[in-house]
Amino acid sequence: MASTLSPLKSNESEQILCGYINATNHIQVARISNISNWYFERVLFPGQRLMFEAPQDAQLEIHTGNIASAILSDTIPCDRLQVMKRGVPSKFA
């Protein structure tokens, strides 16, 4: 299933195409909260891939847990999740 997000205005920030894979056996919540006036949050099931556009300075928070609770398990700078750099696909593609 494809995930989409609310786009930022083009003059606010240059966006990059990013990818993340939930390689765990747990449900995860992926969230970007460090960009003002913008909201991004997706639920990821085990093995699910997520592709999204985000500002280069965004940070993807990964919350892992079960039905009752979730803990912040990782924070990844989105520039490390970039799918294409200078026309060269990453391992995600």
Total tally of structural domains belonging to the chain: 1
In a domain, 69, yes or no: yes
In a domain, 54, yes or no: yes
- pTM of the shown model: 0.74
Sign of CA dihedral 49, 53, 59, 61: negative
In a domain, 81, yes or no: yes
In a domain, 6, yes or no: no
Question: What pLDDT sits at residue 91?
Answer: 58
- Spell out, as residue ranges, where the chain has pLDDT lower than 50: 1, 5, 10-11
Which two three-digit tokens encode residue 60? 């993807």
In a domain, 4, yes or no: no
Question: What pLDDT sits at residue 11?
Answer: 45
Domain interval for residue 54: 15-89
In a domain, 60, yes or no: yes
